[in-house]
Structure 1
Amino acid sequence: MASVSQPRLPVINMENLTPGTESWDMTSHKVRRTLEEYGCFVAVYGGFSQEAKKQVFDAIKTLFDLPLETKIKNTSDKPFHGYVAPFPTRPLFEGTGIEYPTNYDNVQSFANLMWPSGNENFSKTMHSYANLVSQLENMVRKMVFESYGVEKYYESHNESVTCLLKVMKYRPAKADESNLATAIHTDKPFLTILNQNQVDGLEVQIKEDDDEWVTVEFLPSSFVVMATDTFMVNLL
């Protein structure tokens, strides 16, 4: 019997693109069509070397290795922006957020909260990573606006955009536990950009009326770009 290939997310190369060029315009239309059809895609985006990736995930590990009484100091009035600890119905997951991480002072303030004597390595690493991801996010949003012919609204929309760097940890499930770390959900911001540390634990539902889930395979120097609820409401 012939094996059936598993569906994969579309891959789009987002490297070396300049607004106004033919390659930019072709990629813009591909991004829009892919988000309309699949809701997400794998973006190949340079600048995130294996060495840089290791630095980022080493910094995140250092953060989650802190005592619980330290991690809970990161609070927020916004749901899931502060520290979220594991709890009985979701024991595998914990996460924490850094608001406006493209501003170095904000990342440093977060680091000073976690490490009273400061942690310059953590601050520089996460700030650099946040800016890299923000550049990709801005590129995708600009492409989407241009592709829909509403580029005149891009700048005003850009001024209203806020950024949250959410880092998450999933521990392995025990023998009597489900390996489902978080419940099925959609995201609220305009776009979500994800990266992971060699786990391949992300699954996405491509079609709302289809019960088929696709396990996402991250390529080297790649991110997953996902259209969210706000994207669907505003542009589709």
Structure 2
Amino acid sequence: MEVLNGTDLPVIDLSLFPSQNVDQNQLESHEFTKLRQACQELGFFLVVNHGVNPSLIQAVDGRIRDMFALPTEAKNRAIFPIFNTGYCSSIVDDVAKDSIAESMSFPWDQLLPNSVEKISAKLWPQGNPVFCEELNAYGAQIRDLSHRILKLLVWSLGVDVSSQSASELFEKSFGTVRMNYYDKCTDKEMISRPHTDVSFFTILYQDDVGGLQIRTKEGKWMDSKPLPGSFAVNAGDILQMWSNGRYRSAEHRVVYGKSNRNRLSMAYFFDLLDEFEIRCPKETIDQEHPQLFKVVTKGDTVAYFKKEGPNMATPLHFRLQ
């Protein structure tokens, strides 16, 4: 399949957006138009001037690399029975075309309170307070950033942030940070399993190794170049459904191994509690855009994902007949 090399994602400068309610003129501004187009066409964009401390990002990057360097027996102690929590070892098939990175997931808020401390205690029974302090600080700053991005996404769809349909996104949300470690491979190219994210949206830190690829509407894989100091943001399946199909949850993957360097990414999944009803706001429905999806809960989508795996079909499965 053809790959488009070295393509730049749209860059969204958060300092150019208002922090309070917006009027119609602002919604029609260049920046909001650019954001809408990115969500509609690619489902991916980069954010700069995001407010997360660069020194903290680099400190956490180093701590996470040290964590993945721990002995396997130590990391295996951090396996949890809760979905998308704790340690997961890497999986590579015979031809390295369906691999899954080694990962460690830290859910914040309701899913597993004090997850950093609980997982850290498994990894380092003697304690590691600096790791906990830095990772909790990073999680807090990313959480704040996720709320800023959520407001912009809601506004961009013409929905009032204070409306009931939007306020529930804040009230019934939580976040999970998943650290993905792609071990270097000198003898063959590795390709992670193509997937969409079963979340509302994802904020992704990636180092300068690169390797992220996005499938375009035309079915081609597009290389995405890392931009220092930025985060990549992509729409998830739930945002596609909540926006009545206006925003696109794009299939993506990572190609790695050729650089002979380890690759680290840190994905923050802005997600919703299982009882949240995915009901598209009335502002997204009109004659040209009839309602596309059934009203289901987030728990319904998780159950489907657990049964079928990351097969890029979650929104399609819940479409109205």
TM-score normalised to the size of structure 1? 0.85
| In structure 1, distance between residues paired with 2:199 and 2:180 | 17
8 Å CA contact retained: 2:121, 2:127: yes
Cα deviations across residues 132-172 of structure 1 (Å, max 9, x unaligned)?
A: 22222211211222222333122212111121110010011
What is residue 199 of structure 2 aligned with on the other side? 189
Higher relative contact order (CA 8 A, sep 6+): 1
- Post-superposition offset of 1:86: 1.9
Say yes or no: does 1:213 pair with 2:221. Answer: yes
Name which of 127, 131, 134 aligns with 2:140. 131
What is residue 181 of structure 2 aligned with on the other side? 169
| In structure 2, distance between residues paired with 1:132 and 1:61 | 20
Amino acid at match of 1:81: T
In terms of mean alpha carbon deviation, does 115-124 or 90-99 score higher?
Answer: 90-99
Cα deviations across residues 99-149 of structure 1 (Å, max 9, x unaligned)?
A: 107998332222222111221111121112112222222112112222223
Cα deviations across residues 29-65 of structure 1 (Å, max 9, x unaligned)?
A: 4323321121010111343454333201111011111
- Specify which structure has the higher proportion of strand: 2
Say yes or no: does 1:179 pair with 2:190. Answer: yes
Summarize the Cα distance change of 1:115–1:229 in structure 2 as closer, same or farther, 3 Å threshold. Answer: same
Say yes or no: does 1:56 pair with 2:60. Answer: yes
| In structure 1, distance between residues paired with 2:138 and 2:26 | 24
What is residue 20 of structure 2 aligned with on the other side? 19
Say yes or no: does 1:122 pair with 2:123. Answer: no
1:224 match: secondary structure: strand
| In structure 2, distance between residues paired with 1:53 and 1:88 | 29
Identity of aligned residues (%): 24
**Structure 1 stretches of 5 or more lacking a match?**
none
- Specify which structure has the higher proportion of helix: 1
TM-score normalised to the size of structure 2? 0.64
8 Å CA contact retained: 1:49, 1:221: no
Summarize the Cα distance change of 1:49–1:203 in structure 2 as closer, same or farther, 3 Å threshold. Answer: same
Cα deviations across residues 7-36 of structure 1 (Å, max 9, x unaligned)?
A: 321111013642236797444443233211
- Post-superposition offset of 1:211: 3.1
In terms of mean alpha carbon deviation, does 194-203 or 12-21 score higher?
Answer: 12-21
8 Å CA contact retained: 2:208, 2:228: no
| In structure 1, distance between residues paired with 2:136 and 2:242 | 29
CA RMSD, 1 decimal: 2.7
What is residue 107 of structure 1 aligned with on the other side? 116
Say yes or no: does 1:94 pair with 2:102. Answer: yes
| In structure 1, distance between residues paired with 2:139 and 2:109 | 6
8 Å CA contact retained: 1:45, 1:223: no
Amino acid at match of 1:15: S
What is residue 172 of structure 2 aligned with on the other side? 160
Alignment length (residue pairs): 229
**Structure 2 stretches of 5 or more lacking a match?**
246-321
